[in-house]
Structure 1
Amino acid sequence: MKLIVKKMAALTLCCGLLLTACGEKSKTGEGSGGAAADPNAKASISWLNILHTASPPTDTIIKKIEEKTNAEVKFSWIPDASKEERINTSLASDSLADIVTLTILDNSSVRNALKSGMFWEVESYLDEFPNLAKISQDTRTSASIGGKLYGVPFQKDLARNGVVIRKDWLDKLGLAVPKTTDELMAVAKAFTEQDPDGNGKKDTTGFMDRSDLIYGAFKTLSSYFGTPNNWKVGDDGKMTPEFDTEEYVKTMDYMKELYDNGYINQDFAVTAKTDQQQKFAQGKAGIYVGALFDSKNLKNMAKGVQDNMELVLDNNITSTGNEADRAIWAANNGIGGLLAFPKSEVKDEAELKRVLKFVNDLMDDDMYALMTYGIEGVHYTKDADDAATITNQDLWQQEVQPFASSRPNETGYKIHDSDPLKAESDKLIKENAEHAVLNPAYSLESETYTTQGSELQKIITDATYKYILGKIKLDDFKAAVENWKKSGGSKIISEYEAAYQAVKK
């Protein structure tokens, strides 16, 4: 793994949080001396979960989960769009569940609740369960707050992003897969000016991007220029925000060149992700920057519209052409959140161990297959190499897909997607881990960031867009950075520096 990953892993902290809350209490027996003392006893477990799909799942998969975990599970679903409001309300009213799934750690109410002792510390219990025991120390440290682990970490791939390119367009124009940012710019220029779709019209662009400086093109491109992941730590322990670096400015200049020359959709600053993907699938552009596994969805969306679409995945781009400079930012340092257990619901150690066993069981291979692909022969088929193919897409979306965000671990299982693009993206994402750059501030405490960080970030986000769109000059952007510092940013820096020094001692 890249040196910076090793150096920062001990300093990382889960930044994302997901909520679950539900009124039913855990019942693992008839009192503390009964079945509750037996971690294998049948349990009744409540779990309010986040819903990323249009509607909740039917009971088909839930019944299988209950059967395999020897538990009666009461799910209550919260739409993703309202999770922050609901977590604040649930914490304030102490109306939580046996399992609380948290992904919004930068929310001050959540962070303060975790630090207040409202939830069980679990690290000392993990090694009692085979799957939980496999959670690495780096991951445990990354997901800790103030050195304490208040839940089971959601384990995700460390660095998932890269570039998806129309291979058929490259081939038509005689272009190679780009390995430098200059070559990527040249491809964007050719895709814009040389009629790659052959319709005789100038109606394509190089990039199709969206209004997201993190999960869109900007942050991935910034990795290629050597921009730190949110924060840079000097040898003297001084902290520098990413937007106060030369590399960040180089990224803005690159995006500005794309915009000024029409090599990127001119409405990218107001384009939603769904519109971005649909336009790419319709053949409006040939370069997509985002999660590499989005390629499968893009190809599927193009069926019947761009049936000749061929895609190539590129995760090896630098600004220098030097292999040693390969870098890719790590989203949330590989942590997707916490499965946390409030003391108000999980009353004692015996109940805690039973709920932990339930979470442990969710990490078995057959449970991952169930929550990812569904029931074999009903939702999917599997070949001799454990490659799974969804056979009933509509039924899968209704009964299985909502559980994808509930899997405590998403990596390292035998079963895998049979789709060639998904297989390739899995391979490249695994390769990305060797070049991943972590956020060194994840494990550090800053009260000012907790209370003002999101509001202050708007100053930088607004100035970044204005610079790229040509509405302000570099001096104006630098003035915005100084405004960020005067408005509370300097306090964030000093608080992180103090926290960093405390960790080093």
Structure 2
Amino acid sequence: MKKGISMKMGVSGLLTVLMVMSVFLAACGNKGAEDQGSQTYDPNSKLELTWLNVLHTASPPTDTIKNKIEKYTNSKITFNWVPDASKEERITTALASGELADIVTLTMMTNSSVRSSLKSGLFWDVGKYLDDYDNLKKIPPEVRNAASIEGVLYGVPFQKNLARAGLVIRKDWLDRLGLKVPTTLDELYEVARAFTEDDPDGNGKKDTTGFGDRSDLRYSSFKTLSSYFGTPNGWKVDENGKFTPEFDTPQYLETLKYSNKLYKNGYVSKDFAVTAKTDQQQQFAQGKTGIYTGMVDITNLRNLSQGLQKGLELVPVNKISNGDGKYHIWSEGSGVGGLLAFPKSEVKSEAELKRLLQFVNDLIDEEVFMDMTGGIKGTHYDIDNEGAFRIINTDLWQADVQPFASSRPSEVTYTLKDANPEKELANQLIKENNDFAVLDPTVPLDSVTANEKGTELEKIITDATFKFIMGETDEAGFKAAVENWKNSGGSQIITEYEEAYKKSKK
């Protein structure tokens, strides 16, 4: 029967059937492509993900907190930890090779390789998705803007305090030498001198140094001292929209001379140019140095010094002027600590992206925030009757919890009162920094030349700065390096930032 009917269709009927079938198949194909890009997702589905993350401690964490995070977020996480000391090389290599993960922690937002990779379309634009999540939608517009490149947001911003920089000084050493907490650069210099020459630990030996430091101009003492001198943060822009790099200002030169004087007299560690952050911390914890740059690390410094320093007293300091009574401190990315980015090579559909965004959103929930900050209540930390937070097992906390603290998508959503008066004071001073934080005007802007050559050109200035500090070049030599920077592409970067700034004001 069916055969007879088909025979009676004739050629025209057959063509009609074939046309209908072709339209149906095309529709199916289009639907498949559409599903690939915009299919719905189940926020409660089991998620398996990989995370290329930065490690700020000597060793990766145990699985104790990882297991809690996985249970809360219904996920299975495979971490690829990159040591902070080698993150620039490792991350840029991963970007170049395409050997990435579902989530990539990108903290070097001024790195030209990172910015080029973001602009190339390697990562998803997440801007239009954030408002679909209860925690992510609370990210302020100014933070989203600061984390964007030409208006495109290539990842979830790490929310940080606006400016965390400041000093940690040995208060017991100040007291022993009859010195007050410094408030000016001259007073700070005298403290560095006394901590080096006047036997602050009272052991009868000349075995201490004022400043401990490390091979990172941004997070070493230099950037903070530069702020105290009133140097612009990265770039200066005047009322006419003219841009000047920080290292081409009188204030930067004054910082160079001040730092050179510290180095020449032995008031800063002689090996600072080859010292890693963890070694800088150990030097302070062991009583070899008395001034540390980074108020945010005050608890870690105390923990590291347990059993090594008797009578240790620390004081955080955030207000040092150049003598005029005015305060300045550089802002780290205008409150943005980087991005949690999602490479399209690993995250192939919108549905996958949305599930990962749900995971990041869940990390901001208070329960996970406390897991990543304190660990397990009663095991790692406790809350006293006055509502103050206290670590109760430092060794266990360092092994299980500490590496996760720097992985929190937000450090500002919840506020904990610290039981340690030193840390609580540091927290209050970090908030106070908002009143005189100096922002980098280029954070939301873009320069093609900076993306392509910025890191390479930066080395010209970094090398010249180190050489000046260590007395291997003079003012003329440094200015020659600045001209070299301009002639090698820096002048073009200036022009491009000025054009981008002008465009952003329209």
Question: TM-score higher than 0.5 here?
Answer: yes
164, 178, 181: which one aligns with 1:177: 181
Give, in angstroms, the shift of residue 367 of structure 1: 0.8
Query: Would you say the 8 A contact 1:167–1:310 is kept in 2?
Result: yes
Query: Would you say the 8 A contact 1:36–1:354 is kept in 2?
Result: no
Give, in angstroms, the shift of residue 472 of structure 1: 2.2
TM-score by length of 2: 0.85
318, 321, 326: which one aligns with 2:321: 318
Quote the sequence identity (%): 59
2: distance between equivalents of 1:210 and 1:406? 23
2: distance between equivalents of 1:485 and 1:91? 27
Partner of 1:396: 397
1:373-404 per-position Cα deviation (integer Å, ceiling 9, x unaligned): 21222332222444333334444333333322
Pair 1:298-2:321 in alignment: no
1:120-153 per-position Cα deviation (integer Å, ceiling 9, x unaligned): 3222222222211111111000110111112111
1:343 and 1:305, CA in 2 relative to 1: closer, same or farther beyond 3 A?
A: closer
1:337-378 per-position Cα deviation (integer Å, ceiling 9, x unaligned): 212234454454444333322211110111100112212223
Stretch deviating more after TM superposition (268-277 or 119-128): 268-277
Partner of 1:435: 436
1: distance between equivalents of 2:352 and 2:226? 46
Partner of 1:200: 204
Q: Which amino acid aligns with 1:227?
A: T
Give, in angstroms, the shift of residue 488 of structure 1: 1.6
Written as runs of structure 1 = structure 2, the 5 A alignment for 1:44-443 is 44-52=47-55, 53-69=57-73, 71-80=74-83, 87=91, 91=95, 96-288=100-292, 290-322=293-325, 325-443=326-444
Q: Which amino acid aligns with 1:476?
A: G
Written as runs of structure 1 = structure 2, the 5 A alignment for 1:471-486 is 471-486=472-487
2: distance between equivalents of 1:272 and 1:345? 32
Query: Would you say the 8 A contact 1:57–1:399 is kept in 2?
Result: yes
Stretch deviating more after TM superposition (375-384 or 222-231): 375-384
Query: Would you say the 8 A contact 1:45–1:355 is kept in 2?
Result: no
Query: Would you say the 8 A contact 2:303–2:394 is kept in 1?
Result: no
1: distance between equivalents of 2:223 and 2:340? 28
Stretches of structure 1 that go unaligned for 5 or more consecutive residues are: 1-30
1:451-503 per-position Cα deviation (integer Å, ceiling 9, x unaligned): 22222222212222222222322112111111111122112111211211121
1: distance between equivalents of 2:170 and 2:482? 37
1:130 and 1:386, CA in 2 relative to 1: closer, same or farther beyond 3 A?
A: farther
Query: Would you say the 8 A contact 1:39–1:357 is kept in 2?
Result: no
Partner of 2:8: none
1:185 and 1:397, CA in 2 relative to 1: closer, same or farther beyond 3 A?
A: closer
Stretches of structure 2 that go unaligned for 5 or more consecutive residues are: 1-33
Query: Would you say the 8 A contact 2:112–2:451 is kept in 1?
Result: yes
Stretch deviating more after TM superposition (451-460 or 298-307): 298-307
2: distance between equivalents of 1:88 and 1:61? 29
TM-score by length of 1: 0.85
Stretch deviating more after TM superposition (440-449 or 119-128): 119-128
Q: Which amino acid aligns with 1:41?
A: N
Q: Which amino acid aligns with 1:295?
A: I
Q: Secondary structure at the match of 2:161?
A: coil
Query: Would you say the 8 A contact 2:113–2:455 is kept in 1?
Result: no
1: distance between equivalents of 2:286 and 2:271? 16
1: distance between equivalents of 2:229 and 2:270? 23
2: distance between equivalents of 1:77 and 1:470? 40
Query: Would you say the 8 A contact 1:49–1:406 is kept in 2?
Result: no
1: distance between equivalents of 2:115 and 2:257? 36
2: distance between equivalents of 1:222 and 1:405? 25
1:42 and 1:422, CA in 2 relative to 1: closer, same or farther beyond 3 A?
A: same
Q: Which structure has the larger Rg over C-alpha atoms?
A: 2
